[in-house]
Chains A and B, each alone.
Chain A
Amino acid sequence: MTQHASPDAAPRHRTVAFSGLSLRYPARAARSGLLLLLAIAVTTVAGLLIGDYDITVGETLQAAVARGDDPLAIYFVHDVRAPRVLTALVVGAALGMAGSLFQNITGNPLGSPDIIGFTTGAATGALVQIIVVGASTHAVGIGALVGGFLTAAVVLGLACSSGLDGGRLVLVGIGVGAALGALNSLLIVRASLVTAQTAAQWLAGSLNAVLWPRASLVMIAVAVLTVPALLLSRPLGMLALGDDSCAAVGIPVRRIRLGAVLTGVALVSVATAATGPIAFVALAAPQLARRLAAVPTPGLVGSALMGALLVQVSDLVAQRLFAPTELAVGVVTGAVGGLYLVALLAGEWRRNHA
């Protein structure tokens, strides 16, 4: 029998103590978090550095803070590449956090916002703007935001009539999502070919032409939403013990769950409004982070870091793979995330059969 760290085994903890105060943390999760941070730092610099305008690393870092004597470098790095990289990181983190929140609420790896209808609802809002109204990019984002929140209101209204139950929330979400998905297909089938293609472009998710105004809006919104997400993550992890046990130790189960749903929906809607629905990140990031850290439930911070890394790497690939033709980032996240998950599963399989 070979020993290996199964994700379901209890994680090993380390403790640090300073004069009476002590912090206990899972050792492998902390290591994997540092690893992810390092990877994010490297890919961020790569995102600022790589492009058709050649500059050195030193010049890039100078230009990123709008210093240096090359106005073109400042334009490309500070005005074009920096907002794009930051948006990729922030949107990825938002999707990762939302996925982690939903997977904890539902206790199901398939219970992510892509599957339970919120992303579909945001897409419906945007498609109505693109196909029916024929609106500008700006209005499409607003449509997505409104669509996401309306969907959430409908799902919550239907699922909460007799208390919020994670399982029921998912199923009602899937039902509503199916209806909206059908509506989306109907809109695309009945639109003209050109409009339908614009819609398909938006549906693939893209970071092309993201500039500072949009980037700063997204960053502020996600920063604000991170606060409740962090506060909720610890009691939410305890919900895995069962509602009764949680209520017995004084956790307001219902309020925690409702808060988590609202935060998760807000995160997904903001991310989708900014870039279109970037596929698979919310589902895969928590599962990937969980496997990397060998912890039993997907943690919030790990999922956020993994989501950010996933989107940033995907965007690099999307920009450079067939340069100068840019792919949609959502196309690449599906491929990168899917292949990474395939590799992880295959690795686990090999360890079990070595």
Chain B
Amino acid sequence: MAEPAAAELRRSVPRLAPGPVLLMLGLTTLVVTAGLSLFLGSNAIGAQETWRLLWHPDGSVASGVIHDQRVPRTVLTGAVGAALGLAGALMQALTRNPLAEPGLLGINAGASLAVVLAVAVAGVSGLWFYLWFAFLGAAVTAVAVYLLAGVGHASATPVRLALAGVAVTAALTALVQAVILTDQVAFNEFRFWVVGSTEGRGWDVLQVVGPFLLAGAALALLLGPALNALALGDDTAQALGVRLARVRTASMLAATLLCGAATAAVGPIAFVGLAVPLAARGMVGPDQRWIGVLSLVLGAAWLMVADVLSRIVIAPQEVQVGVVAALLGAPVFVAIVSRRRVVAL
């Protein structure tokens, strides 16, 4: 008796595409976009030539372009996109709010304030300094939000975390505005940093942020099962043996590592961390383990596509990758959410 009833139930639930299939599709997209990213740029190098130089660098200008600029840039873009996607998936699960994004931790605001102060007060400028200041600002802010939301305690609620993030972000953004409205130099540096750009970033940047990204990603992927339990509600999760405070703390740590490092590397990139996990959830269903992996792959692919386009739309000039990521992603995102019923958290 139970057997046909179960089959009946399975049929009545709309079938989502299975995780492995989606993952393969995502990886294929990733490989294709990575290839395009190596091949396309303001220096026209043929596809065959690109392929040959990739494996046999010969010291020519074209070889230099590929090995010193396109390869590191592609890797960095992919790493940042993956980090933002995964961090977003983590934040949405943690706050149980589909509108949550990594910026909600106050990371973007904290990094922005640190960069603005670096220019206005300390008088330093240059990508290398911004990287360290941004990372420091992001980390300090994330700790503040963590303490304010009481994440380390079992009584913390998702709404509280969201509001704590918003409150801290608003206060810090106000300070940023106060500085840039009075300091023209800081404003000029800031308006270019804040859009997010991968132009001219290479191995040196990746060397600094890489370890943080890897640690964050490993932690985030390990948290999948615990976050699945958390989705059933705090009480049920606790009954299943999940230590709420510990899981929340670990999730915030992972999100901070991922998003903080990504923001330090290329500046705040909006929307990817919000839209990618939402799309992943819409495709693969509520299993946080698959959402995490898929967000990672799709985030990388999305930002790479945006980066390629940012190089060629008004070549030889560049548009900032953050702008393209949002302009490109928004229509896709709107198409997804206005078609199907949004899967509530």
Name A residues whose Cβ lies closer than 8 Å to a Cβ of B: 108-111, 115, 158-159, 161, 165, 167-168, 170-172, 174-176, 178-179, 181-183, 185-186, 188-189, 193, 196-197, 200-201, 204, 279-280, 283-284, 287, 327-328, 330-335, 337-339, 341-342, 345-346, 348-349, 352-353
Contacts and interface: CB of A to CB of B under 8 A. Distances in A.
B326 interface: yes
Given A178-B270, A341-B163, A193 B155 contact: no
Contact of A328 (B177, B184, B192, B320): B177
Contacts of B324: 182
Interface stretch (B201-209, B238-246, B336-344): B336-344
B333 A178 contact: yes
Contact of A200 (B155, B181, B341): B181
A188 B191 contact: yes
Contacts of B150: 349, 352-353
Interface stretch (B24-32, B44-52, B126-134, B168-176): B168-176
Contact of B171 (A158, A178, A189, A338): A338
Contacts of B274: 174, 178
B278 A171 contact: yes
B195 interface: yes
A338 B171 CA distance: 5
B164 interface: yes
A192 to B, nearest CB: 10
A108 B333 contact: no
A158 B163 CA distance: 28
Interface string B218-262: 000000000000000000000000000000000000000000000
Contacts of B275: 175, 178
A186 B333 contact: no
B97 A334 contact: no
A168 B191 contact: no
Interface string B183-217: 01001100110110000000000000000000000
Contact of A175 (B149, B178, B333): B333
A176 B322 contact: no
B337 A178 contact: no
Nearest to A177: B330
A172 B188 CA distance: 32
* 5 smallest beta-carbon distances between A and B, as pairs: A334-B174, A338-B171, A182-B326, A179-B330, A338-B170
A183 B163 CA distance: 27
12 contacts: A168-B341, A174-B333, A178-B270, A181-B326, A182-B325, A185-B194, A330-B177, A335-B171, A337-B167, A339-B167, A341-B166, A349-B148
Nearest to A194: B184
B259 to A, nearest CB: 17
Given A197-B184, A342-B167, A185 B342 contact: no
Given A200-B180, A337-B170, 6 more contacts: A171-B278, A178-B333, A185-B323, A196-B187, A279-B170, A335-B175
B323 A186 contact: yes
Contacts of B163: 109, 287, 341, 345
Given A189-B320, A279-B173, A179 B99 contact: no
B327 interface: yes
Interface in B273-332: 274-275, 278, 319-320, 322-327, 329-331
Interface residues of B, number: 58
A338 B337 contact: no
Q: Which of B159, B271, B324, B330 has the most CB of A within 10 A?
A: B330
B274 to A, nearest CB: 7
A283 B166 CA distance: 9
Contacts of A172: 334, 337-338
B319 A186 contact: yes
Contacts of A115: 99
A159 B192 CA distance: 33
B139 interface: no
A158 B338 contact: yes
A172 B275 CA distance: 11
B338 A334 contact: no
Given A175-B333, A342-B171, A189 B191 contact: yes
Given A179-B326, A185-B320, A345 B171 contact: no
A178 B302 CA distance: 15
A158 to B, nearest CB: 5
B87 interface: no
Q: Which of B150, B181, B270 has the most CB of A within 10 A?
A: B181
A183 B324 CA distance: 9
A108 B160 CA distance: 12
B50 to A, nearest CB: 30
Nearest to B165: A110
B89 interface: no
A200 B171 CA distance: 17
Contacts of A279: 170, 173-174
Contact of A167 (B175, B192, B342): B342
Contacts of A159: 338
A244 to B, nearest CB: 15
A338 B337 CA distance: 31
B93 to A, nearest CB: 16
A168 B342 contact: yes
Nearest to B185: A193
B94 interface: no
Given A283-B166, A334-B173, A342-B168, A353 B153 contact: yes
Contacts of A283: 166, 170
B12 to A, nearest CB: 20
Interface string B60-81: 0000000000000000000000
B195 A178 contact: no
Q: Which of B188, B337, B341 has the most CB of A within 10 A?
A: B337
Contacts of B333: 171, 174-175, 178
B162 interface: yes
Given A115-B99, A279-B174, A331-B178, A176 B334 contact: yes
Contact of B148 (A168, A197, A345): A345
A222 to B, nearest CB: 23
Contacts of B194: 185
Interface in B111-155: 148-150, 153, 155
